[in-house]
Structure 1
Amino acid sequence: MLLDIVILAAGKGTRMKSSLPKVLHKVGGHSLLSHVLGAAKALESDNINIIVGHGAETVKAEFAGEAVNFIEQTEQLGTGHAMQQALPYLRDDATVLILYGDVPLTPTATLRELLDQVNPEAMSLLTVELDDPSGYGRIIRNAQGNAKAIVEQKDANKDQLAICEINTGIMAVPSALLKAWLPQLSNDNAQGEYYLTDIVEMASNDHIDINIVQADDEMDVLGVNNRVQQAELERYYQSVQAMVLLEEGVGLLDPDRFDCRGELSAGNDVTIDVNCVFEGTVNIGNNVYIGPNCVISNCDIGDNTTIKANSVLEDTSIAGDSDIGPFARLRPGTQLAKGAKIGNFVETKKAIIGEGSKVNHLSYVGDAELGSNVNVGAGTITCNYDGVNKSKTTIGDGAFIGSNTALVAPVSIGSEATVGAGSTVAKDVAEGELAVARAKQRNISNWQKPVKK
């Protein structure tokens, strides 16, 4: 079966009260449109078209690398008018699946079921039953229970408004029929727009079967028109993510306070405390504990690692058996060998920390390579930036760096070397040497302390 897909993504989204096109607002860390496009690509269509309008250039830029056709709707005259713009891009013998860029969470399996209901003499609609159908087009059925029309809220009479089965807007139609019906659309209605839904009545009049597929959950077909609906979908999306992880054996101490905005995989005996946020691709090994309020982005976390509360990790690799935090910040390019320890209020960036090495307190280690079993004292910083260039600090195996040390890069500290506390080191220290670089202490007798005026 040839499959052409059209995604309607031209709306402004006035109720979002944002300069960002509505379809670029996010759920689960991904834009609404990227969710829809992901489902479309899963159906393996070689003809995916996106109708753009408001913020067209911004939307195009966001998806510049995708194999899709962008079609501009220069005037916002309704969904029927939007589909009319797509007609030249539709193949005569294809099935056309119509999706919406602000309806992000429709399962691919549901779309496949919808496509299975289409043949040259039949189209299909995706509907859902709502307790409160206000604002949605109602499905009108004939005496035999078959769909015969869709009536929009503003055009519905009292009896029609009582119907709880609503149109989701998602449908699949043979291209030949769509090309016959779309030019016949009229804007003689309360909105003065061309409704795509009017083709349902045309299908009924032409004795074309209208097959109905009902969504399992209203959240699968909920569109985002305002911030409230966006928040509702976010929590639903996160609850689904949490349930998958729980079923895989991950310990979430409170599934309602968990956010995954990317891809998360975890081994056995993993515990994640409350308010943790995962972004990008995160891989967690076995027997890992992640404390509350952590943000972890694009990281590999090895077995037997503990990440304590309020730590932030980004583009970091941890071999395992490590202890991190609390209040640690590991920035891009950080690599921890087995058994390395990063303590409270420590920041690292583009730092390779060797096996068993420790940076325990209140330190900054950037553009640095530490060997094994290095101890970095509290308050130590690598001075890696001279205002123009970044330079590297190298510390050999077993070296000891005293507290409150400034290592002015480029500089190398040899294996088993020691740097005395309070030193500013701007020259290399050889293997086994002691470096002390601080002013001589003076003690002044009979010192009169200042008195408050």
Structure 2
Amino acid sequence: MSSKYAVILAAGQGTRMKSKLYKILHPVCGKPMVDHVLTQIEKNDMDQIVTVIGHGAEMVKKTLKERTNYVVQSEQLGTGHAVMQAERLLGDKDGITLIACGDTPLFTAETFSELFQYHQSKGAVATVLTAHAAAPFGYGRIIRNDLGIVEKIVEQKDATKEEAAVQEINTGVYCFNNRELFKALHKINNDNAQGEYYLTDLMEVFQKEGKVVAAYQMKDFEESMGVNDRVALANAAKVMRKRINKEHMQNGVTIVDPDNTYIDTDVKIGSDTIIEPGVSLKGQTTIGSDCVIGAHSEIVDSVIGDSVKVTSSTIENSVMHDNSDIGPYSHLRPQADIGEGVHIGNFVEVKKATIGENTKVGHLTYVGDATLGEEINVGCGTVFVNYDGINKHHTNVGDYSFIGSGSNVVAPVEIGDHAYIAAGSTVTQDVKPHDMAIARGRQVNKDGYYDKYPVAQAAKETEAAKKK
């Protein structure tokens, strides 16, 4: 095949989104729309990709980085004008140029590949990607002659009644002979309802010159969905989620309720893992095999090993190793590293802490800025006190230690292997291996103390009433 180039149109602001964020940067399943478009184009082994930017140019560059070249469209004067900005980078090259819009996140690499192949097989100077739309309002219409040859593309606002009734629509994706593309761009004008330079006007230019204009009708109209407002954004995300979930299920993942499971596009999941309803898996998350991710859990940018059970919990930027479990209603904050076989029970919060193999942190506990060894038992209601109001401090707990319920471990402190912290202690000094620390006031009982309080009189009256 000839050399392949691409131009991504990404200069518009998208006022109908009513947002401070530029339209093409709105995410669909965890990735900005324009990133989806670029990712699918990249899969076709392109020789060069050029992105036309305008509004939010620096933010677009920050998002796409060095994956594409950039040209700026300082005034938004139409799609033809936008492509013209790429002439200085592509105008003198031989090959085929794909043009796509940055607000169409659902196109696949396979569709782009089929368009390239069809274009080359027809020997066309231009090929438009079309689709059949049951409700075509708002789309450009493909107007063919009696022989089925494309004569022109008419925008909605310029269409006659007969043209508006046509259901074959322009998806906004094209292939062009690169040199012919930039020659013809100099021949179009802005004599239309919008006062813009339409890329679609090139079809009439080529027809008048007797050059072949082809149209390839794609199978799935949903793929062509463009996003102009929040309603369309939600619809695109729904289609993308369905596609993502289907792929995971085909790869051996059980998704109990696909319509209520939210998985970002870059998430990886091993076979025989079960995903229950209401789960959100976001960012660069990887989940191993044979896991159970319980209902309404959220996992963000984290690595989950094999045979891990997550019950209604939140995990952020953390790691859970094989055979560990968490929840319900617990929270791993960033930089939590949960070792193999570790049990994190209900209402536990872990932040910037490493917990060694087979250690148990049962319930109602906060572990922050700490390193816990293996085979430790952390009792209910324990708090690792890591913050003095200015700085965070670290605690180390040795293997096989026991932290009694209701203890406060005030950092910085070192607790040795096989150490024992008595329940209810506030530990502020190091504990040597095999020692026990008791750090609480001695219990004192006051005889008859209860009877001195008004509550005692009320209790007596209640007891007397029950006896009657």
Q: Say yes or no: TM over 0.5.
A: yes
The 8 Å contact of residues 25 and 32 in structure 1, kept in 2 or not, is answered as: yes
Mapped to 2, the partners of 1:48 and 1:264 lie a distance apart of 26
Is residue 424 from structure 1 mapped to residue 426 from structure 2 by the alignment? yes
The 8 Å contact of residues 305 and 321 in structure 1, kept in 2 or not, is answered as: yes
Cα deviations across residues 230-252 of structure 1 (Å, max 9, x unaligned)?
Answer: 11110111111111111222111
**For residues 450 and 394 of structure 1, do their structure 2 counterparts lie closer, same or farther at Cα, with a shift above 3 Å needed?**
farther
Pairing partner for 2:135 from 132, 136, 148 = 132
Equivalent residue for 1:7?
Answer: 8
Is residue 236 from structure 1 mapped to residue 239 from structure 2 by the alignment? yes
The one-letter amino acid paired with 2:107 is: T
Equivalent residue for 2:203?
Answer: 200
Mapped to 2, the partners of 1:251 and 1:398 lie a distance apart of 37
Pairing partner for 1:449 from 447, 453, 458 = 453
The one-letter amino acid paired with 2:182 is: K
The 8 Å contact of residues 124 and 214 in structure 2, kept in 1 or not, is answered as: no
Mapped to 1, the partners of 2:322 and 2:57 lie a distance apart of 46
Mapped to 2, the partners of 1:188 and 1:450 lie a distance apart of 92
Mapped to 1, the partners of 2:41 and 2:266 lie a distance apart of 19
Map residues 44-193 of structure 1 onto 2, 5 A cutoff: 44-63=45-64, 65-90=65-90, 91-119=92-120, 121-193=124-196
Is residue 373 from structure 1 mapped to residue 375 from structure 2 by the alignment? yes
**For residues 197 and 450 of structure 1, do their structure 2 counterparts lie closer, same or farther at Cα, with a shift above 3 Å needed?**
farther
Mapped to 1, the partners of 2:220 and 2:235 lie a distance apart of 13
Is residue 341 from structure 1 mapped to residue 343 from structure 2 by the alignment? yes
The one-letter amino acid paired with 2:260 is: R
The higher radius of gyration belongs to 2
The one-letter amino acid paired with 1:69 is: N
Size of the aligned set, in residue pairs, is 450
Equivalent residue for 2:390?
Answer: 388
Pairing partner for 1:438 from 411, 431, 440 = 440
TM-score (norm 2): 0.92
Determine helix, strand or coil for the equivalent of 2:227: coil
Mapped to 2, the partners of 1:52 and 1:264 lie a distance apart of 29
Pairing partner for 1:215 from 188, 201, 218 = 218
Mapped to 1, the partners of 2:200 and 2:215 lie a distance apart of 14
Pairing partner for 2:323 from 318, 321, 324 = 321
Equivalent residue for 2:358?
Answer: 356
TM-score (norm 1): 0.95
Determine helix, strand or coil for the equivalent of 2:282: strand
The 8 Å contact of residues 346 and 364 in structure 1, kept in 2 or not, is answered as: yes
Mapped to 1, the partners of 2:290 and 2:124 lie a distance apart of 57
Gaps of 5+ in 2: 456-468
Superposition CA RMSD, Å: 1.7
Runs of 4+ in 1 over 6 A off after TM superposition: none
Pairing partner for 2:252 from 243, 249, 252 = 249
Determine helix, strand or coil for the equivalent of 1:207: coil
Q: Which has the higher helix share?
A: 2
Mapped to 2, the partners of 1:12 and 1:130 lie a distance apart of 26
Cα deviations across residues 245-282 of structure 1 (Å, max 9, x unaligned)?
Answer: 11222111101011111433333432111111111233
Higher mean displacement: 241-250 or 131-140? 241-250
Cα deviations across residues 367-400 of structure 1 (Å, max 9, x unaligned)?
Answer: 2111121111111111222233332211112111
Identity %, equivalent residues: 43
The one-letter amino acid paired with 1:294 is: S
Mapped to 2, the partners of 1:301 and 1:174 lie a distance apart of 48
Determine helix, strand or coil for the equivalent of 1:184: coil
Determine helix, strand or coil for the equivalent of 2:283: strand
Mapped to 2, the partners of 1:449 and 1:201 lie a distance apart of 97
Cα deviations across residues 76-123 of structure 1 (Å, max 9, x unaligned)?
Answer: 111111112222121331321111000112111111121123356532
